[in-house]
Structure 1
Amino acid sequence: MSVLRQSTLIMFLALVGADLLTTIFYGIFFSDRYLLDIVLTSIIVLLVGYPLAHFFLGQNTRLRAMAVELDRVARLDDLTGLCNRRTFFRECEAAKAADERGAFLYVDVDHFKKLNDRFGHAAGDTVLREMGEIIACCVRGSDVAARLGGEEFGIYLADADLVTALAIAERIRRRLAHTGLGVCLDGVPVTISVGVAVRESGQSLQELMARADENLYAAKEQGRDRIVSDHPRKRAA
């Protein structure tokens, strides 16, 4: 409900209440002045109460909007719209506690520093925003995706096996390769390397991420633009 409608409703209720009290009071003591005073009471309530109601309701609406924005800033990465690092770990721990299965994808934009140095930070930001949109489109509703820092992204796949994890990783890699925006910067392709690890029973999130990080390093060593998992360590087709 808008501030104007809320203010009008409050004023209507205030008028009804004020006029009812006036009717009772003057019906007992001053019945000969009832009509004049009921009009004066209504005018006073409207002139004084309506601006005050509108002001305070407007302030309340702005405070609620600020609270929503502060919550969004506290939870999300401004550039990509994905979770920030703090939110990611909190949500991953909750998802991991509720599910024995899961997988983690460590995603890194290849040669990102060179892209920044050659084309500028604005171009680098465009690539990161594009990555955020692609990841958001490719993951499932139960997954948790975040920008962990710089050009690194992390995705926790709840209730996922290796086949599912590799399929999602490849979907992200292929979608970036076929995206019109930022596919190349003066002929320079934008690619990603991905390390995949599937959670073992009793394994902590940090241990799972460490295995995925090892596979990410292996993907870079093997030439980048590829996905490496625990078994087998080869590029997904």
Structure 2
Amino acid sequence: MAAPPQLRALLRVVNELLRNRRYHAALAVLKGFRNGAVYGVKIRAPHALVMTFLFRNGSLREKLQAVLQATYTHSRNLACFVFIYKGLCALQSHVQGETHQVHSFLSAVIGGFLVFGDNNNINSQINMYLTSRVLFALGRLAVEKGYIAESKWDPFPLFTGLVWGLVIWLFEYHQATLQPSLQSSMTYLYKDSNVWHDISDFLIYNKSRPSK
């Protein structure tokens, strides 16, 4: 079935607008918003689905609502951040007539403060995810620039041992300091495995520990 003439005319106008380099910066901001929303759904939906059904109590309806809420929050925040970041970068470049590295930094600082500054579980997970990668990247950059001498031996095994030692120590003795989803995962692995009543909850499924 052929599209109506009005729709074909609208599509031609839109395509011409998209091909016009004059509006590229503004359109890139809109495309960034779109990609942020889509990527947020792709990243959060599977994670929220698995974590909610593994560790969250409640009815099926409540669990699905939790998955949808987490997915919406992640998708919205990422879309808004990309929109603000790209918009501010484009604005600074337009005002100064050229692009500088500081434009990216300042735009991201403002966007991060406005979008991810709310202290909730979703933002905490995203910020912690980024923190580990930023620290790794800064370490590599320091070696690349010569600020830190490159090690003659691989420090990764030592780093790994320290990370696992610290996280287990925190879990065992200062559990409340850890992020809730990490607490749930580690409780399942290290605490719930100490409790069983018969073969069913020893091998087939996990039961909550009985209250004392």
Q: Relative to total residues, which structure has the larger strand share, 1 or 2?
A: 1
Rg comparison, structure with higher value = 1
TM-score by length of 2: 0.32
Which structure carries more relative contact order (alpha carbon 8 Å, separation 6+)?
1
TM-score by length of 1: 0.29
